[in-house]
Amino acid sequence: MAPRSSLAPYQRNSGGGDNTRNAEVADLLEKLSLLSEAGGEDRFKVIAYRRASTSVRNLGEAIEEVWKRGDLEKIQFIGGGIAKKIDEYLRTGKLEFLEKLQRNVPEGAVELMGVSGIGPRTAYKLAKDNGIKSVAQLKEALVSGRLADVLGAVNSKRILEAVNEAKPAKRRMLLVEANELSKDIVAYFRQEDVIVESAGSLRRGKETVGDLDILSVDAKAAKVLVGYPGVDRVIESGPTRTSVFMKNGVQVDIRVVKKTQYGAAMIYFTGSKDHNIALRNIAISKGWTLNEYGLDDLNTEKTIAGETERQVYKKLGLEYIQPELREARGEIDAAREGKLPDLVEVGDLRGDLQMHSTWSDGSDELETMARAAKERGYEYVAFTDHSVSIGVANGLSEERFRKQWKVIDELNDELKPFRILKSVEAEVRSDGSLDYDATFFENFDIVGASIHQSFRQSPEKLTGRAIRALNNPAVNILFHPTNRMIGQREGNPIDLPKVIKTAKDLGKMLEIDGSPNRLDLDDVWARRAMEEGVILSIDSDAHGTGELENVDYGVTVARRAWLEKKDVLNTLSLKSLLKKLH
Ligand code: DGT
Ligand code: CA
Ligand code: CA
Ligand code: ZN
């Protein structure tokens, strides 16, 4: 099967540029996401709809064209289930499933969920049991003190504060959303023969991105941006600087600079601000100035460097600093001393140690996933379908695992020397125990443990669970250690230094989960783990073939965490990996 990302992001000649139904379908999917969340649906579905919605919104081609070609599933993050729903909607103008959801979710719940501090469960309860149908009604009820019993006094006060905060916080994009949008814009520019590059936090690979900062040396660039189909309105437009709002609310800034100043501008607009300030201070200490136009000598008024980033760093007495490191977290000293890390790259990965198939909650068959992984050039993958106690994700009983292993054995015969490792994402139960006994665990090549459930326990209990899981002899890796969902849920308040130390002492691995709304461990904690001597595994946590490329985001986190190839478990060859595990 063709990889889903193969769909050209922008095709100029398709459908006469009429992409009006894209927004409509994107809104529909977003509604499904919100309603599923309010209805307490499985979080995997909530996220799947949300990602599909963003993907459709950023699609550079009319969705009806894609649909007519039968290519819906080639759109990134659209699997069979969602494709079917889009098909029904485009064919009939209705979606039975949506209507069913709407019947089950009380009026107002979705709006209430938008208030900071109100999760889906509370929103559902407030709307259903307390008859609160809007934020306005919520405010009234809070002021009257009527909800103190339901929400608790402290919570009521906090939520009232949130309601009173007139302007909602501007949503930052997930890195994946920013990246897709940027790719789309860059492709559009390319069709107009204009070369542009993204700078800003996107280039640094930050987990969330506020706005896009685009650079070009081409005077046409500003005009071309204004003509981009995704533009909603122009904020300002001039020959060197243009800013627009996209229809999805995202701001895009473009700067046109002279070719001789491109490197200096790239450094400046890539940031981070703190990194820039540190560079500028080095320049000042040498009697120079550094800004977006170049590195200049104050006395002679001559330009010392500016055309390329490398020249600027070199003149400042620094090694070239990769964008992911530009956070003023020690990279400047390291660059001066020639001690920058040799960062891990996507191409260093020889396998992927977390992914799911239709055996649990994935959307593609195990065989399809395995073949797609092999095609990526991997030597091995581990299927980590869920264990039995996570019912919503269709966790596997021992009996079903035995069946799955037969399938894996047969496939391994066929796909040799590629190897499918028998694995499991073992649910850490509320007391820290796992679903199977030691004898059964013996059958797996590698075992990951995860905390998904009972995450409202105290920090001590949660930490205790993680530690007990790591101490289980069967466990090799602790998956997505904090279980955060970027923009939706803070990570569990576990004692990470203690978890890291335990992993180190026991020789166990921690994970950087590359799923774009997880990225867990994050850059800061992954770096700490590496510095303590823990080996990390960078996985896709793919639930479909289109998500195998999630590892790219995991690698970005790893690079921001200063990881080298030697710090990453799945850069090992199959042979070395198996040796390490036994
Ligand atoms: P974002 O968009 O919030 O995710 O973060 P950035 O890092 O993309 O920040 P943005 O878009 O405000 O500005 C892009 C870059 O421009 C930023 O990384 C560094 C540079 N920059 C912006 N404001 C300043 C400033 O006041 N001083 C210096 N030295 N650099 C700045
Ligand atoms: Ca930015
Ligand atoms: Ca900006
Ligand atoms: Zn998981």
Was domain 20-104 assigned CATH 1.10.150.110? yes
pLDDT score of 11 more than 50: no
Q: What's the fold here for domain 261-336?
A: Beta Polymerase; domain 3 (3.30.210)
Tell me the ligand closest to 393's alpha carbon. 4
Cα angle: 367, vertex 369, 372; to 5 degrees: 110
| Mean pLDDT confidence for 174-194 | 95
CB-based neighbours (< 5 A) of ligand 3, an ion: 211, 213, 253
Confidence band for 561, pLDDT divided at 50, 70 and 90: very high
CATH architecture of 109-165: Orthogonal Bundle (1.10)
* pLDDT score for 221: 95
How many A from CA of 334 to the centre of ligand 3? 28
DSSP state letter for 354: -
Q: Give per-residue pLDDT as tens, 271-286.
A: 999 999 999 999 999 9
* Atom from ligand 1 closest to the CA of residue 208: 4
Confidence band for 434, pLDDT divided at 50, 70 and 90: very high
Where along the chain do its domains lie? Answer: 20-104, 109-165, 173-256, 261-336, 346-581
Confidence band for 248, pLDDT divided at 50, 70 and 90: confident
Query: Comparing 22-36, 179-193, 294-308, which segment has the lowest mean pLDDT?
Result: 22-36
Q: What's the fold here for domain 173-256?
A: Beta Polymerase; domain 2 (3.30.460)
pLDDT score of 5 more than 50: no
Instruction: Tell me if 20-104 shares its fold with 109-165.
Output: yes
Ligand 1 pocket test target in 174, 179, 182, 213 with most atoms within 8 Å of CB: 213
* pLDDT score for 18: 54
Tell me the ligand closest to 540's alpha carbon. 4
* pLDDT score for 347: 98
CATH architecture of 346-581: Alpha-Beta Barrel (3.20)
Protein residue closest via CA to atom 28 of ligand 1: 273
Query: Which residues, judged by CB distance below 6 Å to any ligand atom, belong to the binding site of ligand 1?
Result: 200-201, 206, 209-211, 213, 268-269, 271-273, 276-277
User: Which helix (H) or strand (E) element contains residue 95?
Assistant: none
Protein residue closest via CA to atom 8 of ligand 1: 200
Q: Please report, in angstroms and rounded to a whole number, the separation of the first and last CA atoms in the chain.
A: 35
Q: Give per-residue pLDDT as tens, 127-155.
A: 989 989 888 889 888 888 888 888 888 88
Q: What are residue 350's phi and psi, to 5 degrees?
A: -105, 0
* Atom from ligand 1 closest to the CA of residue 276: 29
pLDDT score of 177 more than 80: yes
CB of 427 closer than 8 Å to CB of 453: yes
Which of 370 and 118 is assigned the larger pLDDT?
370
Ligand 1 pocket test target in 204, 273, 284, 312 with most atoms within 8 Å of CB: 273
Tell me the ligand closest to 235's alpha carbon. 3
For the whole prediction, is pTM greater than 0.85? no
Cα–Cα distance list, 462 to 18, 117, 174, 449, 532 (Å): 51, 21, 27, 13, 22
